[in-house]
Amino acid sequence: MPIGVDEWVAQHGDRHDAGTGWRRAAARLDRRVGWWPRLALALLVGLIFGQLASNVNVETVAVNSLIYAILALGLNIAVGWTGLLDLGYVAFFGFGAYGYAIFSSHALGTGGVGGAPLPSIESIPIVLVAAGTFGAAIGMMSLRVSGDYLAIVTLFVGQAFVEFVNNVDPGTLGGVNGLYGLNPIHGFGGQIITPIGYYYFALIVCAVLMGLLHMLDNSRTGRAWKAVREDELAAEAMTIPTGAVKVMAISFGAVVGALAGTIFAAQQDNVFPTNFTANILILIYACLVLGGAGSIAGAVLGGIVVTAGEQMVSSPTDAGYLFYGLIVLALVLKVRPWRMLGAVIAATIALGVVLHAIVGAISSSAVAGSPGSGGWIGSLVSHWVIVPSKAVGYGNVLYILMICMVFALIHVRERYRLALLVPTIYVAACCWESRLIVNPSITAQILIGAILIATMAARPQGLLGSMRVEVV
């Protein structure tokens, strides 16, 4: 029997799976394993990480990663699924944190409301319900304005929240000094006081939330949200009350954001208005966009990658791993065939060694500085990169040069690209060692921006997002 086109297309999946090799095997496994074994595996990895985590610093970063993961999960509801550009989201985070702070500190007493702090098992549900209501009120705006206009209006909500806690009733809300001395999360006769305790708490909250959101994603509500994103008029014509559905999306997102806020406030032991500025909003968006809007696993991965990446930059050793690791990763992914990859790496090393020797012979002060990286990376590159004794001005020039070279790299023809790649990497490394690593907080922003640009160019749908078709 001749095989018609339809049968041929229908068998595509089987043919795809039938092959050998580790890639096909991975693809087969990927198709067969359901969502909950994956979630269980991720939880297991998280628990093992918790066991291995050795110092408070790592544990705190891990808690923060999970808080951002939860925040990204909440943002995903309105932005990734429903397609509403909600720029007031950080207000929900702040609402949860301040809500927890008020109920779990003596602010409640001083504000004239009276009474002792509530246990967390009472205060957190109260805060979440209040946040849902607050979110619904903000969500009402989506009934009147949409698209860019909604973004502008909600942006003011975020700003208004910061101004509100800054200025209204400093006796209760603490003004610029914030609220401090909060009770830790407690209930059922126990309390969580260590970072590792908060890590496990946030891990379980995050895993449960992922499960619940997965269920919601595949329910009538989740489908209605995505239908509104795809085509609001068609959704309305297909029995979906789009207004109510949009309000619900923002409200649900508010609850998740507030949940992250309560954990944040409890583990940090205090809240300040500056914890909830537009910078944080941008960071949450970066998590979601990097991980892949619309994807639950992507939101969590994005939260972890962005937060962990930001923290790694502030330690000279870890920053080196991150910087050189990313360069090697990008080379391995993009440069083919293998001997070309080898040639590029060898040429880069040779260029550095030769230049270092030449410059060192001309002027010893030009190579007198030590690289910013610590540990073995620092000693390894000390005879490779050129770091003069006065590194700052030199580094600034290199930074501009690096950007120009990257631009050139993007625009030159294919055959010159490999040749230009070698000096670009070398200039970037010199710039990194002499200048960027000296200001970790600024470098973290630059690096996250660079990672975002690179990811968006290579995978516009984000790390785990699925390709979306807009117009046909």
Partner 1 sequence: MTDAGPAPGGAAAGGASAQPLLELCGLGIHFGGLRALSGLDLSVADREIVSIIGPNGAGKTTVFNAITGVYRPSEGQIRLAGDSIGGQPPHRITRRGIARTFQSLRLFLNMTVRENVITATYGATKATPVESMLRLPRARREQREVEAVAEEVLSFFGERLAGYRWDQPAYSLSYANRRRLEIARALATRPRLLLLDEPAAGMNPNETHEVTELIGRLREELALAILVIEHDMHVVEGISDRVVALDHGVKITEGAFHEVANHPAVIEAYLGKDPEALAEA
DSSP summary character for residue 182: P
Distance in Å, CB of 80 to partner 1, minimum? 12
Distance in Å, CB of 15 to partner 1, minimum? 13
Binding map of partner 1 across residues 348-367, x = CB under 8 A, - = no contact: --------------------
Distance in Å, CB of 239 to partner 1, minimum? 3
Contacts of 167 (CB under 8 A, 6+ apart): 175
Which region among 224-232, 312-320, 345-353, 396-404 touches partner 1 (by CB under 8 A)?
224-232
As a whole number of angstroms, the distance between CA 287 and CA 94 comes to: 18
Report the 10 Å Cβ neighbour count for 23. 9
The number of angstroms, rounded, from the C-alpha of 53 to the middle of its chain's C-alpha atoms is: 21
Q: Does 237 bind partner 1 (CB under 8 A)?
A: yes
Binding map of partner 1 across residues 251-270, x = CB under 8 A, - = no contact: -x------------------
The residues in 433-472 that bind partner 1, with binding defined as CB under 8 A, are 466, 468-469, 472
DSSP for 137-177, written as a single string: HHHTHHHH--THHHHHHHHHHHHHHHHHHHHS-HHHH-GGG
Q: Of 66, 79, 87, 248, which one interacts with partner 1 (CB under 8 A)? A: 248
Q: Does 233 bind partner 1 (CB under 8 A)?
A: yes
- Residue 255 or 386: which CB sits closer to partner 1? 255
Total chain residues near partner 1 (CB under 8 A): 33
DSSP for 354-384, written as a single string: HHHHHHHHH-GGGG-S--S--HHHHHHHTTT
State both tokens at 275.
Answer: 């914890």
As a whole number of angstroms, the distance between CA 345 and CA 332 comes to: 10
- Residue 125 or 241: which CB sits closer to partner 1? 241
Q: Does 240 bind partner 1 (CB under 8 A)?
A: yes
Residue 371, preceding peptide bond in cis (omega within 30° of 0): no
- Residue 210 or 436: which CB sits closer to partner 1? 210
Helix axes 56-75, 89-103, angle to 10 degrees: 120
Q: Of 235, 258, 386, 425, which one interacts with partner 1 (CB under 8 A)? A: 235
Distance in Å, CB of 251 to partner 1, minimum? 10
As a whole number of angstroms, the distance between CA 83 and CA 246 comes to: 9
The residue ranges that bind partner 1 (CB under 8 A) are 6, 9-10, 212-213, 215-216, 219-224, 226-227, 230-231, 233-242, 248, 252, 466, 468-469, 472
